[in-house]
Structure 1
Amino acid sequence: MIRFENVGLRYGMGPEILKDLTFSIEPQSFQFLTGPSGAGKTSLLRLLFLSLRPTRGLISAFGTDTSRVTKSQLPALRRRIGVVFQDFRLLDHLTTYENVALPHRVAGKMEADYRSDVIDLLKWVGLGDRMHVMPPVLSGGEKQRAAIARALITRPEVLLADEPTGNVDAPLARRLLRLFIELNRLGTSVLIATHDLHLLEQVNARHLVLHDGRMIVDE
C-alpha cells in the first residue's frame, strides 16, 4: 500500500536524518516502529502521511508514484490514511463530537449518515459522556482518545499512530490496542510508533527499528 525505495531525507543543507529506507506497508499488516528519541520516527511518519517529500528515493502510495502527484491530487491520497498525531491537533472551538466528525464534514457528508458511527466510536473509547465538551476541558488522556477516534472514523486503509497510548493508563492502553487490532482485522493496515515495550509484547507483529537514520526490520 505504501512502499519506500532507497528513501533519504535531510532538512535544508543539514545531514541526512533518514538514510536508504527500503520497506513497505502491506495490505492488512500490523507493525510497530521504535527507536531512540531523535532517530527520525516523526519525520518518517510525515513521509508516510505524504505531508513531507523525501530528499531522494521513491515513495509510492496505493500504486502511485508520489513524486508525480500534484498538490491538488495529494488530498485524495491522504484521505486514505488515518493519522494520530502526538500533539493531538484537536480544534478548540469544536466539541469532541465535532472534532471526531470533522473528516466526514470536510468530505461533504450529511450528518445523518455518520452521527451514529461517531457516537458509537466515542462510547467505545470512553468519551460517551464527553462528546459535547470542548478540548480545553479534556484531560490529556481524553484528548488522546478523541484524536484516535477522529483518525478511525473514516475507516482508513492505513492507520499511522504516533505514541497513541502515551497519555493513558495501562488498562486503557490495552483497550486502545484491542481497537487497533480489531481495525486491522477489518482490513486496515496499522503502524504504531511507540516507546512502550509492553505494547510490543502483546501483539505478534513486525517490528521496525530506526537507528542512526537507518531501518532495521525484525520480522
Structure 2
Amino acid sequence: MIHFDNVGLRYGMGPEVLRDLTFDIPQRSFQFLTGPSGAGKTTLLRLLFLSLQPTRGFIRIFDRDIATIDPQELPLLRRRIGIVFQDFRLLDHLTTYENVALPLRVRGREESTYRTDVIELLKWVGLGERMNVLPPILSGGEKQRAAIARALIDQPEILLADEPTGNVDAPLARRLLRLFMELNKLGTAVVIATHDLSLMDQIDARRMILSHGRLDIYD
C-alpha cells in the first residue's frame, strides 16, 4: 500500500528531521508508531497523508510515485486515507452528525444516500445520543470519538491516528483500541501514533519506533 525508500525530510536549510526511512505499510496491517516527544511522529504521519513532500528519497502510495502525481490528483488520493488529528479539528458551528458527514457532503453526495450510515457509525462509537450536539458541549473523549467517526465515514483503505487516546481515560482508551481493531478486521490498514506503552502492550502488533529521525521496526 505504501512504500518508503531512503526518505529524508528537512525544513529549509536546517538539519534533516527524518532521515533514511525505508519501510512498507502492507494492506490490512496494524502498526503502532511510537517514540519520544519531538521524534517526528506527526511529521511522518503528514508524509503518509501526502500533506508533506520529502526532500529526498522515494515514496509510492497505492502504486503511484508521489513525485509524479499531479497536485490536482492529491485530494482524490487523500480520500482513500482517513486521519485523526491530535487537535480533533471539529467545526464548532456544526453538530456531531454534521461534522462526521462533512467529508461526504464535500464530495457532493446527497444526504439521503449517507444519513443512515452516519447514524449507525455514531452509534458504533457511542455517540448515538450526541449526534445533534455542538462540539463545545462534548467532552474530550466524545470529541475524540467524533473525530474518529469522521475519519472512518468514507471507508478509508488506511487510517492514520495521531495520539488518539491522549485525551481519554484508560477504559475509553481500551474501547477506542477495540474500535481500531474491528476496523482493521474489516480490511483497513491502521497506523496509530502513540507514546502509551500500556496501550501497545494490549495487542500483538508491529511497532515502528522513531528516534532521532530514524526508524526501527519490530514485527
Give the alignment's TM-score, normalised by structure 2: 0.98
Report the CA distance between 1:213 and its aligned residue: 0.2
| Count of residue correspondences | 219
Tell me the secondary structure at the aligned position of residue 217 of structure 2.
strand
- Find the counterpart in structure 2 of residue 165 from structure 1: 165
Report the CA distance between 1:168 and its aligned residue: 1.4
- Find the counterpart in structure 2 of residue 191 from structure 1: 191
In the alignment, the residues of structure 2 paired with residue 62 and residue 120 of structure 1 have an alpha-carbon distance, to the nearest angstrom, of: 29
The percent identity for this pair of structures is 73
1:54 maps to a residue whose letter is P
- Find the counterpart in structure 2 of residue 27 from structure 1: 27
In the alignment, the residues of structure 2 paired with residue 85 and residue 24 of structure 1 have an alpha-carbon distance, to the nearest angstrom, of: 22
- Residue 178 (str. 1) matches residue 178 (str. 2): yes
Tell me the secondary structure at the aligned position of residue 114 of structure 2.
helix
- Find the counterpart in structure 2 of residue 153 from structure 1: 153
Tell me the secondary structure at the aligned position of residue 23 of structure 2.
strand
1:41 maps to a residue whose letter is K
In the alignment, the residues of structure 2 paired with residue 185 and residue 142 of structure 1 have an alpha-carbon distance, to the nearest angstrom, of: 24
Tell me the secondary structure at the aligned position of residue 126 of structure 1.
coil
- Find the counterpart in structure 2 of residue 47 from structure 1: 47
In the alignment, the residues of structure 2 paired with residue 118 and residue 91 of structure 1 have an alpha-carbon distance, to the nearest angstrom, of: 17
In the alignment, the residues of structure 2 paired with residue 54 and residue 45 of structure 1 have an alpha-carbon distance, to the nearest angstrom, of: 12
- Residue 88 (str. 1) matches residue 75 (str. 2): no
- Find the counterpart in structure 1 of residue 122 from structure 2: 122
Report the CA distance between 1:67 and its aligned residue: 0.7
Deviation digits for residues 107-166 of structure 1, max 9, x if unmatched?
A: 111211211111111112121111111112212111111100100111100000001111
Give the alignment's TM-score, normalised by structure 1: 0.98
1:165 maps to a residue whose letter is T
- Find the counterpart in structure 2 of residue 131 from structure 1: 131
Indicate the RMSD between aligned Cα atoms, in angstroms.
Answer: 0.8
Stretch deviating more after TM superposition (174-183 or 18-27): 174-183
In the alignment, the residues of structure 1 paired with residue 106 and residue 2 of structure 2 have an alpha-carbon distance, to the nearest angstrom, of: 24
Report the CA distance between 1:95 and its aligned residue: 0.7
